[in-house]
Each structure stands twice: as C-alpha cells, then as structure tokens.
Amino acid sequence: MEVLLLGPQGSGKGTQAQQIAAEFEIPHIATGDIIRSMKDEDSPIGRDLKAVYDRGDLVADDLMIRLIEERLRRADAARGFILDGFPRTMAQAEALDDMLLELGRDLDVVLDFQVPDPDTLLGRLLKRASQENRSDDTPEAIARRLALYYDQTAPLVEYYRSKHGNVVGIHADRTVDEVYREIQQSLDQVGAR
C-alpha cells in the first residue's frame, strides 16, 4: 500500500502516519525527520540544511528528490510506504510520479488533511515546539512554513485529484482517534486495506 499525506504543518500527518505504519507494517517516510537528523550532522550538507530549516524555508527540490528516491529503494519499502512531507512542490510531485513509474508502483491514495482554522494549526505547532524544544518552530518560522504550504503545496491536492483521481479529504481538526477512524474508513473505501 502506497499512501501520500498532504496537509499543512500541524494538521496531524505525522501522528496519523505512525498509526497507519504500525497497522500495515510499512515505513513512515517523513521528510521532516530525515532533514532534522541530517541537519545535526557536522557536514556541509548538514550545516546547509540547518540554516534552511531554522529559517523555515523549504529544502531545494533536487536534494529532496534524491533523498526520497534513495529511501523508496530500500527493502523495507517494498511492501508499501507512507510519504509525509514530500512532495511539497509541483516539481517534486512530477519527480515522484516519474520515480514511482520507474519502480513500477503507484500511489493507492492521497489523504488530504484539512484544518480550516489557521489558529488551530498555530496552537498545535506552538505546543509541539514547547514539548519537543524544537528550534525550527518559532512563530515566525511557523508562519513562513504555513504560507509556503498554501502557496506551493496546497495546489498539489488538485494535481493529484485531476491526474490520479485518488484524493480523499480528511477532517483533521478533530481528535486523533476520530481522524484515524476516518482514515481507516477511507482506506477501506479505496481498497487499500
């Protein structure tokens, strides 16, 4: 089962992806986790990633595409995967389509995490910042990442809807359990379970 999660930061993608991964025994491929671990490396790429991430900017498409392609080729992703945080741009979405075609795979479903109230997202992200002591979750960086999401990533929902027809909206402003029940129902409906 190949699942793509789209939605703004703070919409609960990571929390839900962990549950899906555990239930289906497939890897949760979270670009944020990959970048956070790499940015702490004392290397040129690590220092570059740290600077980009702390500003709240997006990592360049070419680097993200290489990271994801390498990750999808690992043995643990052969049975399926959950992509969280990639693609974020149209170039990345097109590269992912090419990558999956080359690997002989396709996305079963794209889950679009919807949170209509921006204050809900801000509150969740500020709470996460204090709980996890994350330097990248300042109010300014959060605002910048949300603006980038709505500008560059939100249009991908329509891209997948028109090109693949496999987008399911998820009401992500509810409790974790309510959201997961909706995801399970959606996976049943598209035959991914």
Catalytic residues: 13, 88, 128, 134, 145
Q: Cis peptide before 87, with omega less than 30 degrees from 0?
A: yes
Amino acid code (one letter) for 183: I
How far apart, in whole angstroms, are the C-alpha atoms of residue 157 and residue 111?
Answer: 9
Residue from 98, 109, 86, 115 nearest 160 by CA: 109
Alpha carbon distances (Å) from 9 to 85, 109, 126, 148, 162? 9, 20, 11, 10, 24
User: Under DSSP, is residue 26 helix (H, G, I), strand (E, B) or coil?
Assistant: coil
- Residues 171 and 114 sit within 8 Å (Cβ to Cβ): yes
How far apart, in whole angstroms, are the C-alpha atoms of residue 164 and residue 142?
Answer: 30
End-to-end CA distance of the chain: 8
